[in-house]
Structure 1
């Protein structure tokens, strides 16, 4: 994980690349410097106007935040965890400009990395301050919210207030257990490395898959949100290492003619980098398998 100093440099780089036009409010003052100063003035005025002085904190990066609901024993997000969250975004005149689907309780989610991916920098910085179940008011200057696209309702250089709630924080193992429960899978084998095998059609008298065997497998691959990323039929020679480790290990628990659902963490799949556009970093995966033949 980045040190705080590295994070400061990282977000400073974001800020400097986010504003490319130069204009002068004061002699020699660049546009980003002027907007930063103006944003901070607006936020300080908002704090006074709403009697938040003494409650709002400001961190080293310039994020203003006020934890309105504290959960001391809540789970703290760590690298690789899935975080689900709700938010309401407002201008500083309190006009609501955006929100998650709170009424239907459909939070957004992202994988917690050491940088904001699929989330604005302002929301990401707020989540770094919170635990599962906690809520906060964030007051975010525009230079800390790169990734937010300017609109007529919320122009690019406007500060924004987020009312943020961290709904839950799930490790990969917890995500896998949630998936197994939701799909009502009867796990027949569980490995210490996180691999789960649920045999759905058993053939105890057929050929066991071992090293050197060629296996013809029909498969469907899914993320744990049921997004399908691949399907087809493939020949796998056990021991050649041409498929991910989760497959190699799971196939050796099965026999010809069997069907199974296998679920495994990213360490047995595509790791910290992911694969392509669909499989992100730290993504646990599920596969429905049918062993067509073993030779």
Structure 2
């Protein structure tokens, strides 16, 4: 068996090859007789099991072996956790499998089963058969169909991740806004909420929901200035700050649409990343 790093390389390499297949199908599947044979083998496999598979693009088929009608479907940027097994459809020989869940963001990586993720829901298990190509792999001769088993499939949206974070930290949400911001007052401040145009001096720590601190000034002597009613910071941060009083401590947790969005921020914050900020209002001018 390959180690987890090697498994990922095999899975993603095969996925990339399949992506090329959709563009170069007339070249790679030029031998129509072999292509039709591969197709017949796939349909025969499901027929013997008494399963009625659903057709996908590029000649692939899938069948949900364990449905979960109430499960959520993955959206771009969701975190997916998947256990998979890749095998030769004809011989049953296992070519690759995951010992621990493969975790990745949907819509960014291209594992061999990526297209299947658009068709199944959280908690479901499924089998997908992919027609062979002219390219051969160890244990998978050219034009031999590949069988993909997906099991222990988990979809975690940003909202799911935020709720998990709050539950794990045992935080009491003071206010939740329609845009997804969770405002959590840790200790109250004094005076009025600052008016538009006021400059608020802050001490803060920005974290990913796994606890990693990517930015902050708590250990430094400087402070971070934010103008009330301004637009110099992301919406989630700005909106949360405008609810705080002098001396108040709070935690702001918000999803990427009111954070750094699909693109993220440089090499520091990936796209589609929910964030948590610990904030202290040190001064108001």
Q: Check the 8 A contact 1:216/1:234 in 2, yes or no.
A: yes
Q: Does 1:85 align with 2:43?
A: no
Tell me what 2:194 maps to.
209
CA distance in 1, matches of 2:44, 2:86: 20
| 1:231 counterpart = 2:216 | yes
Name stretches of at least 5 consecutive residues in structure 2 with no aligned partner.
Answer: 1-16, 218-222
Structure 2 counterpart of 1:133: 123
Q: 1:99 to 1:231 in 2, by over 3 A?
A: farther
2:22 and 2:58 in contact (8 A); partners too? no
Match of 1:74 among 41, 47, 71: 71
Q: Which of the residues 159, 162, 167 maps onto 2:148?
A: 162
CA drift of 1:133 comes to: 1.6
TM-score normalised by the chain length of structure 2? 0.74
Superposed displacement of residue 131, structure 1: 1.7
Instruction: Give distance in 1, aligned partners of 2:67 and 2:247.
Output: 53
Q: Are the structure 2 counterparts of residues 127 and 248 from structure 1 closer, same or farther at C-alpha, using a change threshold of 3 Å?
A: same
Q: Is the alpha carbon distance of 1:49 and 1:202 closer, same or farther for their aligned partners in structure 2, counting shifts above 3 Å?
A: closer
Q: 1:218 aligns with which of 177, 183, 203?
A: 203
Query: How many angstroms does 1:151 deviate by?
Result: 7.2
Counterpart residue number, 2:181 = 195
Q: What are the residue-to-residue correspondences of 1:264-275 with 2, within 5 Å?
A: 264-275=254-265
The alpha-carbon deviation at position 140 of structure 1 amounts to 2.3
1:10-51 per-residue CA deviation (whole Å, 9 max, x = no partner) reads x997436679xxxxxxxxx83x22488756634643654683
Q: Structure 1 residue 15 and structure 2 residue 21: aligned?
A: yes
Query: Aligned partners of 1:54, 1:195: CA distance in 2, in Å?
Result: 45
Unaligned runs of at least 5 residues, structure 1: 1-10, 20-28, 144-149
Query: Does the CA-based 8 Å contact 1:35-1:157 persist in structure 2?
Result: no
Post-superposition shift, 1:277?
Answer: 4.0
Query: 8 Å contact 2:38–2:143 — kept in the other structure?
Result: no
RMSD over equivalenced CA pairs, Å: 3.5
2:239 counterpart (233, 244, 249): 249
- The separation in 2 between residues aligned to 1:110 and 1:247, in whole angstroms, is 24
Does 2:185 correspond to 1:185?
no
Task: Determine the C-alpha separation between the residues in 1 that align with 2:230 and 2:172.
Answer: 30
Aligned residues: 260
CA distance in 2, matches of 1:288, 1:264: 12
Q: Verify: 1:96 aligned to 2:86, yes or no.
A: no
Answer with 70-79 or 129-138: which moved more: 70-79
The worse-fitting range, judged by mean Cα deviation, of 265-274 and 206-215 is 206-215
SS at match of 1:41: helix
Q: Is the 8 A contact 1:110 1:119 kept in 2?
A: no
1:201-239 alpha-carbon deviations (Å, 9 max, x no partner): 333x25643322222222222233334433335222222
Distance 1:35 1:199 in 2: 66
Contact 1:83 1:166 in 2 (8 A): no
Measured at CA, do residues 171 and 46 of structure 1 come closer, stay the same or move farther in structure 2, by a change above 3 Å?
closer
Comparing 58-67 and 153-162, the one that deviates more: 153-162
Contact 2:201 2:281 in 1 (8 A): yes
Write out per-residue CA displacement over residues 162-185 of structure 1, whole angstroms, 9 at most, x where no aligned residue.
211363334433332222111111
Q: For residue 29 of structure 2, give the secondary structure of its aligned residue in structure 1.
A: helix
SS at match of 2:159: helix
